[in-house]
Copies of this chain bind each other. A is one copy, B any other.
Amino acid sequence: MSRCENCIIRQFNSLRAMSKEELKKVSDTKVSKTFKKGDAIFEEGDRLDGVFCVRDGVSKLSKLSSNGKDQIIKLASKGEILGQRSVIAEESANLSAIAIKDMDVCFIPKESILHTLNTNPNFAVEVLRHMAKDLRDADDVIVNISQKTVKQRIAEAFIYLKDNFGEDEVGFLNLSLSREDMSNVVGTATESTIRIISEFKKKGIIETSGKKVRILSIPKLETVISGL
């Protein structure tokens, strides 16, 4: 079993601010878990007794609205820590975390986290910085959703997928979302997403092959985002 002290993933998140001894403690209590595409890591309302450190795969963090639709707030991959907000606020989970690519995660009991938080200011500040970034991102999402058209938001989503998850050797996006997930990211009806993606294909902005998507022209996408 691998040890946190040697885990490369650690460099990408706030665990890097932990001391050798703290990491050893975490390593002794952590549990590796795997989740298959579609599995829930946790669901809205669950009481979490720890956080999940993503080693591989991708998860969508979403919340069910009263109208029965899911809104995806964030896509989390390698290095992200899930459930941190709920554990810190000592609240039940506000979001559900569902795997959209097979996942490999470490479960870390909340005691180690909370103890380190209360004794190691470096760690607390590191977590704080990360949450400050999340908060800024959330504010930006609010502005985008309320002030831009669905077409602009879908165009932005493609850029986001390219920037955050990259492309393979032949230019296909590494992360393909179903039309439904894409709709839940931008906050619209599935049919609207399908129509706009069809339009992008007709206009030579993107092309698809099976589930895979390739962006053909970033400039054209940016023209769409700017609103003509």
Report which A residues bind B (CB closer than 8 A).
63, 65-67, 69, 71, 73, 85, 88-89, 91, 94-95, 117-122, 124-125, 127-129, 131-136, 138-148, 186-188, 226-227
Q: Which residue on chain B has the smallest CB distance to residue A130?
A: B89
CB distance from A89 to the nearest CB of B (A): 4
Chosen A-B contacts, 12 in total, with CB atoms closer than 8 Å, are A65-B146, A65-B147, A71-B142, A85-B135, A88-B128, A88-B129, A117-B121, A135-B138, A145-B146, A145-B187, A146-B186, A146-B188
Given contacts A147-B67, A226-B66, contact A128 B117 (CB under 8 A): yes
Say how many copies of this protein the assembly contains. 2
Q: Is A136 a contact partner of B67 (Cβ separation < 8 A)?
A: no
Partner of A132 from B73, B131, B136 at Cβ < 8 Å: B131
Q: Which residue on chain B has the smallest CB distance to residue A68?
A: B147
- With the chains together, A185 CA to B168 CA distance in Å? 41
Q: Is A67 a contact partner of B227 (Cβ separation < 8 A)?
A: yes
CB distance from A144 to the nearest CB of B (A): 8
Q: Is A89 a contact partner of B132 (Cβ separation < 8 A)?
A: yes
- With the chains together, A187 CA to B127 CA distance in Å? 31
